[in-house]
Amino acid sequence: MKKLILYSFTCLSLAALLTACSSKGGNSSSKTGVPYADRKSKNNQSGAFAVATQYKRAPGPGLIPIEGGVLVVGGSAIEVPGVEPNIYNYKRQVTVPSFYMDETEVSNTDWLEYLHWIRYNYPEDQEFYYNELPDTLVWRSALSYNEPYVDNYLRHPAYRDYPVVGVSWEQANRYCLWRSSRANEFILREKGILTDYRTLAGGNTGRNNNAATAAATPRPDKPFNTDAYLNGQYDDKGKNAPIDYNTKAGAATGTAGAAAGGRGNNQPRRTATLEDGLIMQPYRLPTEAEWEYAALGLIGNTEYENINQNKIYPWNGLGVSSASKKTRGLIQANFKRAPGDYMGVGGSLNDKGDLTVPVIQYTPNDFGLYNMAGNVNEWVNDVYRTGTFTDADAFNPYRGNYFENKKLENAQSGKIALDKYGNPIKENAYSGRKQTWAEKQAQAKRADSISRSTDPQTATASTTYQADQRGYRDRQNLLLNEEGVTLINDKSRVYKGGSWNDMAYWLNPATRRFLSQDESSAEIGFRCAMTMLGAPEISTSGKRSFKTPRQVPYRVSKGK
């Protein structure tokens, strides 16, 4: 009996010990029992593995979460006699992963902030500033007096909250890249992981951070870029930079700010990494499937996977006017009701907009997105083909992949090449799989010799891998003009949503048109999106789910 009690006690003690040393999502490895490195832990040691156990995801500035799911692309389309079917998607069921999307269209003020940053950081670079100016001449028309909009629409405060127009797809993409680095830099400086703004400016921020500390802080010669920072090519470590547990205690920190005060100040600091969970995913244009899914907003009509009412607009009902008691009869979007009727009758303006309207106007759809119909059409990421969704994958469909690598400046060190603005230089991807180390080094040498070559044939013979996937499995019938020249190519980009100058038909989220990516219009703007990482469910509150224990102890087998 004593042996049985002793055996049971031993098993329970061992199980408790293993449970304490291992947890699912805890502070110790569930496979080795070794504690993870943590600022709050007293067991930190050099060489310990750091894990972001307290990570909580959140949308970037301006974004709201969109819980993904099944979508019948083209399912809301209304077939109109005499209208070509290629203006909407062929109906097909696909799945859109959860993602984030801008609550509103990008406004004139948002774009002026971009232009201000360029002028402040590159005051002598007139070309950079000029290239990012919207084309305000899109307002000009031979038989319309629109000159006031040419001069005022972008810059006058009367239009500060109106959507920016005259922006090409290419400019919108560059804005997304800029916005990504600015938002990440702000987060890192606010947290003190980079030198905080007041210290960087030389201000007095307290006992441990004064003008002398600011003067000792290294100043990178180029503005912050997320990719360069993650690759260790932006040397700036603030007082709250993560502790580097892979370097022996007592080593030099490399910055004055990192050595000042706080726990662990005898430890060297490092830059933040993706594993820390602090760096946001890049802002980008939404895919066509994401945009259509978000515009419909069927989540408000769904209960237990049953969609009780479909939509042909971002709101319920077959019409374009409000059925609510207080707003009954008012138009729910900014569009052209009839030829020549842009806003209704004087004294009782209906949609209350002659051209565009502010980016926050009307009632948002069930995802909380404003103006997903009307106001301005919006660029999406996809290359245009009439039959995209007959070819694209059923999960996260997209046409437009052009796979690229960051060009290496030094293959041995892994240092990436940066342009004069601090952005990574991209080159065609040269493999569709992970190369062996020998293949990678050989490719780097070959790329280096090609970059030195002036022979165009040599320059194009660097790889047989096809990085451009825009035309992959393309079975469409090309649209031809009267001269037999195709109107569609790999620079044709989709825009959706309808505008202030469109009839109600184009407010349907399934409709689609295209324009060359280097052209712009007074009727096209854009909004940004961001990939959501992790579980697709946004909120578990009030939803049925399996109970998942936070800690999963090892089970000790007693044997037979």
The answer to whether residue 427 scores a pLDDT higher than 50 is yes
Which of the four pLDDT bands, split at 50, 70 and 90, describes residue 557?
very low
* Alpha carbon distances (Å) from 440 to 408, 424, 460: 11, 19, 18
The answer to whether residue 110 scores a pLDDT higher than 50 is yes
Q: What is the pTM of this model?
A: 0.87
Which of the four pLDDT bands, split at 50, 70 and 90, describes residue 6?
very low
344-357 per-position pLDDT tens digit: 899 888 888 999 99
For residue 127, the one-letter residue type is: E
CA distance 494 to 559: 64
Give me the chain's average pLDDT, please.
83
Helix axes 108-121, 169-190, angle to 10 degrees: 70
Residue 209: the pLDDT is: 46
Residue 23: the pLDDT is: 43
Angle at 388 between CA 384 and CA 390, to 5 degrees: 165
**348 beta partners:** 345
Angle at 111 between CA 109 and CA 115, to 5 degrees: 110
The answer to whether residue 361 scores a pLDDT higher than 60 is yes
208-239 per-position pLDDT tens digit: 444 444 444 455 678 999 999 999 999 899 99
Calculate mean pLDDT across residues 252-258: 44
What is the percentage of the chain residues whose pLDDT exceeds 70? 78
- Burial profile 74-99: b = 16 or more Cβ within 10 angstroms, e = fewer: bbbbeeeeeeeebbbbeebebbbbbb
Calculate mean pLDDT across residues 49-70: 91
Give the residue among 22, 55, 49 at the shortest CA–CA distance from 243: 49
146-205 per-position pLDDT tens digit: 999 999 999 999 999 999 999 999 999 999 999 999 999 999 999 999 999 888 887 544
Burial class (CB in 10 A: 0-12, 13-18, 19+), 470: middle
Half-sphere exposure of residue 197, counting CA atoms within 13 Å on the CB side?
7
The answer to whether residue 16 scores a pLDDT higher than 60 is no
For 245-296, give the secondary structure using H, E and C: CCCCCCCCCCCCHHHCCCCCCCCCECCCCHHHCCCCCCEECCCHHHHHHHHH
477-521 per-position pLDDT tens digit: 566 666 666 788 999 999 999 999 999 999 999 999 999 999 999
Calculate mean pLDDT across residues 91-107: 96
Highest mean pLDDT among 46-60, 113-127, 213-227, 302-316: 113-127
Residue 76: the pLDDT is: 85
Residue 26: the pLDDT is: 66
Give the residue among 397, 356, 374 at the shortest CA–CA distance from 504: 374
Cβ neighbours of 458 (radius 10 Å): 12
Report the DSSP pairing between strands 306-307 and 513-516. unpaired
Q: Which residue has the higher pLDDT, 325 or 124?
A: 124
522-537 per-position pLDDT tens digit: 999 999 999 999 999 9
* CB-based contacts of 149, cutoff 8 Å, min separation 6: 136, 139, 355, 522
Residue 8: the pLDDT is: 42
For residue 439, the one-letter residue type is: E
